[in-house]
Amino acid sequence: MLANIEHFQNGIIVRLKGELDHHNADKVRSLIEQAMMKEQVKHVVMDLQQLVFMDSSGIGVILGRYKQVKARGGRMIICHANRTVNRLLEISGLFKIIESCDDEHHALSSLEVVS
Amino acid sequence: MSVNNKFSLTFSAQSSNESFARMVIASFVATLDPTMEELEDIKTAVSEAVTNSIIHGYNCDPSKQVVMNGIIENGKVMIEIIDQGAGIEDTELARTPLFTTKPDEERSGMGFTIMENFMDQFEVTSTLGGGTTITMMKRIASKKALYN
């Protein structure tokens, strides 16, 4: 399994697992896109705690979903990025446009979701 | 005492071999006793180079082959990723952050920037139609002290 996706009021939590490289990028993208097809999905929280490896292919997947979230007026929040992934997100400038949080709980309260 | 070692590996240009290449390089550098961070840096840089060869060099044609060479010398690891694929027209332009020839495929255009940032030395030589060779080097800090 590459991702576990949970729906909340008006968004989804995507818990990425294992390795997100070019080999898995298309599968991960369609998993998230399928979950985003429900019309009430506006916000996406990306939890990277269980992600073992990611390279620039993952940057492409995250940036692609960010654009979709933005297009429907939602917010994307990334949490639990490890040191290497943090550097990737920083180098690629993603942290200039995408918010980050310590954990899912903080992400959800920042989205004002009642849980 | 320096631990000198080398390997050469040839594998098919298919995406499942990206994780294979990462595992091989991780096992190879293990003798240098790298930190988790150093190991992740090397794996990420190798992943970028191999992915580039598969996607851009060979357009994901599994009948083609990627070569990965590694040398350990004096606490440094030197890695070469070689393909005989499409080649790069303008390597300076290709090294520009966010530049990609495949924007429609959600390629981030960050591969070369990541290799440059994660390794101590990085070089790309390429001939249009003749292929691309990536050469990169990283010093492993835990051993560096021994050689100073």
Q: Running along chain A, 115 residues long, what does each successive block of 10 average in pLDDT?
A: 92 97 96 91 96 96 95 96 92 92 93 70
Residue B104 class from Cβ within 10 Å (0-12 exposed, 13-18 middle, 19+ buried)?
A: exposed
Give the Cα separation of A98 and A65 in Å (integer): 11
By Cβ distance, the residue of B22, B54, B110 closest to A56 is: B110
Reported ipTM: the value is 0.91
**pLDDT score of B142:** 65
pLDDT tens string for chain B (148 positions)?
455 999 999 999 999 999 999 999 999 999 999 999 999 999 999 999 999 999 999 999 999 999 999 999 999 999 999 999 999 999 988 888 888 888 878 888 899 999 999 999 999 999 999 999 999 999 998 655 555 5
Chain A residues whose CB is inside 8 A of the B108 CB are 56-57, 59-60, 63, 92
Chain A residue with CA closest to B54: the answer is A22
**DSSP 8-state code for residue B102:** -
Q: Which residues contact B1 (CB under 8 A, 6 or more apart)?
A: none
Residue B87, Ramachandran bin (φ over 0: left; ψ between -120 and 50: alpha; else beta): left
Q: Is B59 on the interface with A (CB under 8 A)?
A: no
Contact B45, B119 (CB under 8 A): yes
Which amino acid belongs to residue B57? G
pTM (2 d.p.):
0.92
- The pLDDT tens digits of the residues spanning B31-70 come to 999 999 999 999 999 999 999 999 999 999 999 999 999 9
CB-based contact (8 Å) between A63 and chain B? Answer: yes
